[in-house]
């Protein structure tokens, strides 16, 4: 009799790969990262968020009457552009420092139609009614949800229109991955957008897709902080680590800024 090997699903592989990453990148970590992350978003002038919102508008997914829920909004990379293209945004962000900077960025830009909820998505969703939002959106933070099926199910439940996931296409910048290996960081080298797209199909929720090219631009101080915090998730940062980070950042120094090219995939489905 032929032995048939058990097929592992896309969502099972996702869960196995993301569990450790999610545990290491807890709310405390993102509170520590808030300032350097804000430097990235503001130095990049909310670039990828603007591009994604232009696509969402052109595709008829949002308009000025839309009520949007953004999960893990961070400091507002997509929140502010979403607010400018919609009636209003409820931004759910568990890290207080990130939420504070989001509110400061909205005030600075005079964007008045954002309401920030400092909470994790599970707590927020437990109180949310079905069909409450025209769009439920999550960008670059799906790795926080090893139980990806539960996330997609809850997003779909509370949306009366569309849901959207966005994440880095491929495994990101080759130099960055080489730097991680030099530092001995064993992070998952997973094409998250590929997995998310296939998981949606696996769950019977086929998605449309569009890609957005952008450049991650941040000050060299912010880049050093980013790399130092990344190492701290795995071990105490050594003098050798700091020197290696300094050399790497200087090698990509462009007039005081550290720049990394990237492509993000935008996937949306009707709830």
pLDDT of residue 2: 38
Dist. CA 87–CA 18, nearest whole Å: 34
The helix/strand count (H/E) of the chain reads as 11, 8
What are 47-81's pLDDT values in tens digits? 999 999 999 999 999 999 999 999 999 999 999 99
What are 162-195's pLDDT values in tens digits? 999 999 998 778 888 899 999 999 887 789 999 9
Residue ranges with strand state E in the chain: 67-71, 88-92, 114-117, 133-139, 159-168, 208-219, 253-254, 257-270
Domains of the chain with CATH codes: 10-178+186-218+264-270 (3.40.50.150)
pLDDT of residue 171: 73
Please choose, from the candidates 252, 250, 232, the residue with its C-alpha nearest in 3D space to the C-alpha of residue 183. Answer: 232
Dist. CA 36–CA 40, nearest whole Å: 7
Q: Which parts of the chain register pLDDT below 70?
A: 1-7
pTM above 0.75, yes or no: yes
Please choose, from the candidates 9, 27, 7, the residue with its C-alpha nearest in 3D space to the C-alpha of residue 17. Answer: 9
33 CB-near residues (< 8 Å, 6+ apart): 225, 226, 229
pLDDT of residue 246: 97
pLDDT of residue 172: 74
161 CB-near residues (< 8 Å, 6+ apart): 61, 66, 133, 134, 135, 270, 271
pLDDT of residue 188: 79
User: In whole angstroms, how far apart are CA 246 and each of 218, 225, 232, 262?
Assistant: 15, 10, 15, 22
């Amino acid at each position: 009799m032929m032995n048939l090997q058990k097929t592992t699903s896309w969502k099972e592989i996702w869960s196995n790969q993301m569990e450790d990453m999610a545990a290491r990148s807890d709310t405390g970590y993102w509170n520590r990262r808030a300032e350097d992350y804000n430097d990235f978003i503001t130095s990049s002038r909310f670039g990828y968020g603007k591009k994604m919102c232009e696509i969402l508008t052109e595709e008829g997914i949002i308009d000025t009457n839309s009520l949007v829920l953004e999960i893990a909004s961070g400091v507002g990379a997509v929140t502010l552009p979403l607010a400018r293209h919609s009636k209003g945004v409820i931004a759910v962000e568990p890290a207080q420092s990130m939420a504070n900077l989001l509110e400061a960025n909205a005030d600075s830009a005079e964007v008045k139609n954002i309401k920030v909820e400092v909470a994790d998505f599970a707590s927020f969703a437990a109180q949310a009614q079905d069909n409450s939002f025209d769009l439920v959106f999550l960008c670059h933070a799906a790795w926080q949800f090893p139980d990806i099926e539960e996330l997609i199910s809850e997003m779909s439940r509370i949306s009366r229109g569309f849901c959207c996931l966005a994440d880095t296409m491929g495994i990101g910048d080759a130099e960055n991955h080489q730097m991680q290996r030099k530092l001995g960081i064993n992070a998952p080298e997973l094409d998250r957008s590929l997995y998310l797209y296939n998981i949606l199909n696996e769950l019977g929720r086929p998605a449309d897709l569009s890609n957005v090219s952008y450049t991650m631009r941040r000050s060299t101080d912010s880049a050093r902080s980013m790399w130092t915090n990344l190492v701290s998730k795995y071990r105490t940062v050594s003098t050798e680590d700091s020197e290696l980070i300094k050399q790497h950042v200087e090698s990509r120094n462009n007039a005081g800024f550290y720049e990394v090219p990237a492509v993000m995939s935008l996937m949306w489905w009707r709830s």
